[in-house]
Chain A
Amino acid sequence: DQQVKQNSPSLSVQEGRISILNCDYTNSMFDYFLWYKKYPAEGPTFLISISSIKDKNEDGRFTVFLNKSAKHLSLHIVPSQPGDSAVYFCAASSLPSGTYKYIFGTGTRLKVLA
């Protein structure tokens, strides 16, 4: 059972435009969500997080939106840059469940075209 889903395996965007990466989850107990970026041969790097008490968190070019009723979150990157080309993973965890096991999606490969 895939509790965190990234249904788009890849995405291509022109430099300067907005990139929107989507993530859906099934477990209503999830209350903390993160986005990671991964370059080849490197470990994932933390980008931005959001708690379930918020619906938006912004950090520079990166904004994460959370829609709890739809169990959906998205990462917006604007403007997109060639250096943003990487695989992006969303992850979720549940504090009330008593375990801090982060569940990751399968990733979306973003390619920003110059």
Chain B
Amino acid sequence: GAGVSQSPSNKVTEKGKDVELRCDPISGHTALYWYRQRLGQGLEFLIYFQGNSAPDKSGLPSDRFSAERTGESVSTLTIQRTQQEDSAVYLCASSLQAGQGQSPLHFGNGTRLTVT
């Protein structure tokens, strides 16, 4: 399909393990975002990539969280030494452009992470 693709759709992991979440944005979208939604909460901004600019990491909750993006394509969000409070749905979104005007975000279906 032509939408944002995230994998895996569900991930159950033991406390203390590392996890890696993947996002394939819409082709041609230069901006990529990671958000998370904890149970009963709103969408919490984590990190934003735009082209070759330095990413905005201001939303990452701790140094256990990191994200990479290869050019204007795939991004991976890595959580090291997972804790139970990391349990959430992790949502990736992409948008056509940023810096020359606003455009809406297109979201994937998310990865539901459960830390036991």
> Residues of A with Cβ closer than 8 Å to B?
6, 32, 34, 36, 41-46, 49, 51, 89, 91, 93, 95, 99-107
Q: Which of B41, B42, B45, B109 makes the CB contact (< 8 A) with A101? A: B45
A101 x B48 contact (CB < 8 A): yes
A104 to B105, CA, bound (A): 12
Asked if B98 contacts A43 (CB within 8 A), the reply is: no
- Whether A93 pairs with B110 at a CB distance below 8 angstroms is no
Known pairs A101-B56, A101-B59, A102-B33; A107 contacts B98 (CB<8 A): no
Which of B4, B48, B50, B58 is in CB contact (< 8 Å) with A43?
A: B4
Closest Cβ–Cβ distance, residue B98 to chain A (whole Å): 4
Question: 0/1 per residue, B76-116, Cβ < 8 Å to A?
Answer: 00000000000000010101001101101111111000000
Q: How large is the interface on B (under 10, 10 to 19, 20 to 34, 35 or more residues)?
A: 20 to 34
Within 8 A of A (CB), among B44-58: 44-45, 48, 50, 56, 58
- Distance in angstroms from B37 CB to nearest chain A CB is 9
- Given A51, A93, A105, which contacts B42 in the complex, CB threshold below 8 Å? A105
Closest CB-CB distance, B96 to chain A, in whole Å? Answer: 11
Contact across chains for A99 and B48 when beta carbons are under 8 A apart: yes
| B contact residues around A44 at 8 Å (CB) | 43, 91, 105, 107
Which 4 residue pairs across A and B have the least CB separation, nearest first? A43-B107, A106-B42, A104-B43, A100-B98
Instruction: Name the residue on B nearest A46 (C-beta).
Output: B104
Check if B104 sits within 8 Å of A49, measured CB to CB. yes
The distance from the CB of A108 to the nearest CB of chain B, in whole angstroms, is: 10
The answer to whether B59 and A43 have CB atoms under 8 Å apart is no
B108 — nearest CB in chain A belongs to which residue? A43
* A-B contacts besides A41-B109, A100-B102, 14 pairs, CB < 8 Å: A36-B107, A43-B93, A43-B107, A44-B91, A44-B107, A45-B107, A89-B42, A95-B101, A99-B56, A100-B99, A101-B48, A101-B56, A104-B42, A106-B42
